[in-house]
Structure 1
């Protein structure tokens, strides 16, 4: 009797192994089709995917980025030519004179140095201003959002793009005139104003420029200030997602009444090249979670596509493991940056998390943070990168800073305002349109 039971178990296990081998062969075939045919076809045009790098040998990224930039400049020019400049200025000045401004947007701009004479106008601030003006007039922010150009060029008259925009948007020049009244901005711990201060190098000037525009925006007494550098173009989702975050993410729901959370800033852009999967706990867990979904899908397919016997259930782990590996490999090869794009399906899917230190293309500040932050930035003993100095302020004050993913701004500044030359062109070939 015992021998018969043992024999039946051996036969059953042998049948299970043969069944698993057959199914593993099917999975192997699917693996080859997916990773060597389907994914290369789907992903060869997606920046930051593994297949984009393989298929990019024949692509001139420099030329591609230049062509896309020229198309956006064309659309931005059309946007402003279809507007009435006098009407636009009256609209913004009426908001600037109001006492209940919700948001002030400062577009910080400077000429790009080191460019050839014939290519000096890159149209960056033109694109940014068109996108911001469209955002400011969206249903969520209309009649309570003030936008101004903050020209911090040491020779403001030579910044032709900024001068063109003065016809449509309020402006202020750190070393020149202004279209609205604002008191002289004094530096802390001294009698100097911002425009009287001489700087050791371009990095120190950049930090003081940023502080100056923050102070100007704060002088209007808005509830929030959005600092946008002149090479950051808003995404179409900015209005709805930002409103949702201000209404739900940045309030303390533990209180009986809605109380605003205290925060240093909300980062709306972080470089895509650093948004991939990495050897850090949150992103490693994110990758494993994709694998768990794949394992569940694999087990479900096993139940649906093949006759299932309860005695074969121990092999469910093997199917789960196969699905897990395939999904994790797929996610890694497609790239976290491209998977994040799926979150744009709804404002509720955007990821709200603690912010890293880098980068200032688009950042939202509560007004209460401006005075202590600008004091800190303008009293540093030695020049530092503006973004790192801001992050040091956050760590010292222990006031949390947040970030939204995916980005709500596109970074178009392939050529640095610090004159450090062109950045990697393949990071600037995203296709999008100016609203």
Structure 2
């Protein structure tokens, strides 16, 4: 009896092994595809791609800091030369104080700044503000040539406690308007997060008071614009804020939009956040790319059975989903910037971070009032209060992807410490 059972078991195991071997032989091309792509191709391609699974992060902080400073020096050198050219030729952009006194300002761009040069890092002065202002003015000039249709004003909101000693900001007054929060040297005893929020409120209020714009675009002084910033801004205002598509027609937008973010840290843009639209996007990417690959596979093996075709489809969808995950969503989203503003996505804004924020006038007064009433704490910054407002009052907030700004600040003015170099990748 026992020998009969043993024979039956060995027969079943043998049959299973034969089927397994046959299956491996039948799908060995997929096994090779997975092995070659994930163990050879992607590691070679992505070892220097930030946020990918294969990214070799530089653990040497000194080397990372040196590389960041070299990049900063190159940008700063270009910025200084450009600003000197503006001063030398007096070719100041028309939008310096507005777009002319006879035209209403559509977008008032305000750069919020505080001196970082006093908190010297190895006696190094990064001068982020000069870089941001130079890039804004240069890209604005390019945008006008390309037909940018909105009137824009530029200004610096200096919230430094000792405004007169902030020489970098003062030196830029010849090319851009500037207003100070403090008239003279002031020592603030306010909690740092609370002061940052109060500075933010002051800058928005002053910008509305001076220019009376339809939108205020608040940019922090270590948020460097990219060349797509103005084209994307025009697209967002024209196709999402002023007007929007409803059933294929462009109509006036009645949504209560509190703000639009133009930057979100790349390391927070991955699929692991489990936000519904990102998971749906991942599945859609897998289905579309997997189906395209299936078409290529079917073209090579036309005699494949329907059951095998479904298995191949599943394997290819899984393959493309895994490829997307290991490359990282932030790097895939960046590809949209290669095809112009129409390919940028406009999605519900996640929490965190305010380097570049567009506030429509119709909703700004209420959110500013709310910011003024709610106090910041160690774990409650102004970005969390803004998100709290949106959730409490049912308004809308959006994020434009990919980013139209890059974060270049190696030194945090809020926390008074060095930023993790990995967050600047």
Task: Give the structure 1 partner of residue 202 of structure 2.
Answer: 212
Written as runs of structure 1 = structure 2, the 5 A alignment for 1:43-122 is 43-53=46-56, 56=58, 60-84=63-87, 86-88=90-92, 92-93=96-97, 95=99, 97-112=101-116, 115-116=119-120, 119=123, 121-122=125-126
Whether 1:296 and 2:302 are equivalent positions in the alignment is no
How many angstroms apart in 1 are the aligned matches of 2:329 and 2:95?
A: 41
CA shift for structure 1 position 317? 1.3
Q: Give the number of the structure with larger relative contact order, counting CA–CA contacts within 8 Å between residues 6 or more apart.
A: 1
Q: Find the partner of 1:233 among 224, 229, 242.
A: 224
Q: Find the partner of 1:397 among 388, 393, 397.
A: 393
How many angstroms apart in 2 are the aligned matches of 1:81 and 1:198?
A: 34
Q: Find the partner of 1:144 among 142, 147, 151.
A: 151
How many angstroms apart in 2 are the aligned matches of 1:142 and 1:149?
A: 23
Whether 1:318 and 2:311 are equivalent positions in the alignment is yes
Q: 1:70 to 1:253 in 2, by over 3 A?
A: same
Contact 1:290 1:328 in 2 (8 A): yes
CA shift for structure 1 position 57? 5.5
How many angstroms apart in 1 are the aligned matches of 2:83 and 2:117?
A: 25
| SS of alignment partner, residue 34 of structure 1 | helix
Task: Give the structure 2 partner of residue 182 of structure 1.
Answer: none
Q: Find the partner of 1:157 among 143, 147, 164.
A: 164
Task: Give the structure 1 partner of residue 9 of structure 2.
Answer: none
How many angstroms apart in 1 are the aligned matches of 2:100 and 2:158?
A: 18
Q: Structure 2-normalised TM-score?
A: 0.85
Task: Give the structure 2 partner of residue 306 of structure 1.
Answer: 301
How many angstroms apart in 2 are the aligned matches of 1:176 and 1:224?
A: 27
Q: Tell me, which stretches of 5 or more residues in structure 2 are unaligned? A: 1-18
How many angstroms apart in 2 are the aligned matches of 1:422 and 1:142?
A: 40
Task: Give the structure 1 partner of residue 282 of structure 2.
Answer: 287
Task: Give the structure 2 partner of residue 265 of structure 1.
Answer: 259
How many angstroms apart in 1 are the aligned matches of 2:269 and 2:96?
A: 36
Task: Give the structure 1 partner of residue 176 of structure 2.
Answer: 169
How many angstroms apart in 1 are the aligned matches of 2:98 and 2:402?
A: 34
Q: Tell me, which stretches of 5 or more residues in structure 1 are unaligned? A: 1-15, 178-194, 430-435
Task: Give the structure 1 partner of residue 371 of structure 2.
Answer: 377
Q: Find the partner of 1:36 among 36, 39, 42.
A: 39
Task: Give the structure 1 partner of residue 240 of structure 2.
Answer: 249
How many angstroms apart in 2 are the aligned matches of 1:163 and 1:82?
A: 18
Greater CA drift, 138-147 or 350-359: 138-147
How many angstroms apart in 1 are the aligned matches of 2:297 and 2:85?
A: 59
How many angstroms apart in 1 are the aligned matches of 2:384 and 2:375?
A: 14
Q: Structure 1-normalised TM-score?
A: 0.83
Task: Give the structure 2 partner of residue 203 of structure 1.
Answer: 193
What is the aligned-residue RMSD (CA, Å)?
A: 2.8
Task: Give the structure 2 partner of residue 224 of structure 1.
Answer: 215
How many angstroms apart in 2 are the aligned matches of 1:64 and 1:389?
A: 35
| SS of alignment partner, residue 37 of structure 2 | helix
How many angstroms apart in 2 are the aligned matches of 1:81 and 1:19?
A: 73
